[in-house]
Chain A
Amino acid sequence: MAHDVQNQMRTKTEFEYTRRRSADEMRGQVTTFAIMIFLTLIAFTAVYADFSPNLVVPIILLLAVIQVIMQLYYFMHMSHKGHENAKFFLFSGAFVAFLTVLTFVTIIWW
C-alpha cells in the first residue's frame, strides 16, 4: 500500500499562495450556493404563481439543469484540471439518461 509520494515542504510563499487560492475558491463556492438558492426560489415561485404549465415547465427544467451544472462544476470540482475521465463518465451517463427518459415519455404509451 505504500506508494511513492513525493513529500515536498512548500516554501512559505507557495504555501500562502495556495491558501489564498483555496480561500478564493471557497468564496466562489459560497456565491454559487447563493445563486443556487436563488434559482430554487424562482422555480418554486413560478409554480406558485400559477402560470400556464407550457410556460412554467420549460423554465423550471432549465433552472434545474443550470443548478446541476453549477453543482457538478463548482461543488464537485469538475472545472478543475484532471477531470477528463470524470466528464467522460458523467456525460455518457447523462446521455443514456436522456435517451431513456425520451423513450419512456414518447415511444411507450398507455
Chain B
Amino acid sequence: MDLNTKYTPQSWPQHAENSTLEGKNKFVGFWLFLGGETTLFASLFATYLALKNKGPEGMEFTTQELYQLPLVFIMTMLLLTSSLTSVYAMYHMKNYNFKAMQAWLMITVLLGAAFLGFEIYEFNHYVHEGFNYSQSAFSSSFFTLVGTHGLHVLIGLGWFILLMLRNSKRGLNLYNAPKYYIASLYWHFIDVVWVFIFTVVYLMGVAG
C-alpha cells in the first residue's frame, strides 16, 4: 500500500505512530537514543555538581548570589506548559485532526521560543556581570550543562518547524505520523531534563 494514502478519522489506525515497520523502528531507535541522552546529561550534571562554586582564589560568584528564582520559575512554567500543548497535538494526531495538531504544535513552538529567549537573556546577564564561560570551573560547568539543554530546545524547535512546514500541504499519513510522534517524545524529554536542572542547579543552588 502507498504510505501517502489518505485516511478518514474512522479508518485511521489506532496506533498510527508505530503501525508501519518504519514507525516501529523509529520508535525503538528513538528510545535507545533517549537512553543515551540520559547518560550525556548525567555526565554534565555530575561535572557541575563536582565543580559548583569552585574557581580561582577570591572568586565572588556563588550560586546563592547568581541565580534569580523568579526568572527560573517563569521558564519552568513555559516549558512545562509547552509539554502539555504537545500532548494536545498528539491527541489530535490520534484523532486524525491535522489542523488542530499543527495549531497546538505552533503554540508549543512559541512557548519553547519564549523559554529560549529568557535563557539567552539570563546568560547575557551573567556574562555582563563577569561570569563568562572561561571565568572559572564553576562557570564552565554551569554554561555547558544549561547550554546543552538550551541547544536541545533549539534543535527541538527547528525539528517541529521543519516538520510542520514540510507536511503543511500533505496532511497526516502513516509516513509522517511517526515523525510527529517522535518529535513530541523529544520535546517531553527536554522537559524531563529541565525538571532536574531547575531542581539540582537552581533550587539546590539557592537553598545551599
Residues of A whose CB lies within 8 Å of any CB of B are 1-5, 7-10, 12, 15, 18-19, 22, 25-26, 29-30, 33, 36-37, 40, 43-44, 46-48, 53, 56-57, 60-61, 63-64, 67-68, 71-72, 75-76, 82-83, 85-86, 89-90, 92-94, 96-98, 100-101, 103-105, 108, 110
Contact = CB atoms under 8 A, between A and B. Distances in A.
Given A3-B21, A19-B95, A93 B50 contact: no
Contact of B49 (A4, A75, A85, A105): A105
Interface residues of B, number: 62
A63 B188 contact: no
Interface of B: 1-3, 5, 9-11, 13-14, 18-22, 27-28, 31-32, 34-39, 41-43, 45-47, 49-50, 54, 69, 73, 76-77, 80, 83-84, 87-88, 91, 94-95, 174-175, 185, 188-189, 191-192, 195-196, 198-200, 203-204, 206-208
A56 B69 CA distance: 15
Contacts, number: 156
Given A30-B84, A101-B49, A76 B185 contact: yes
A108 B46 CA distance: 10
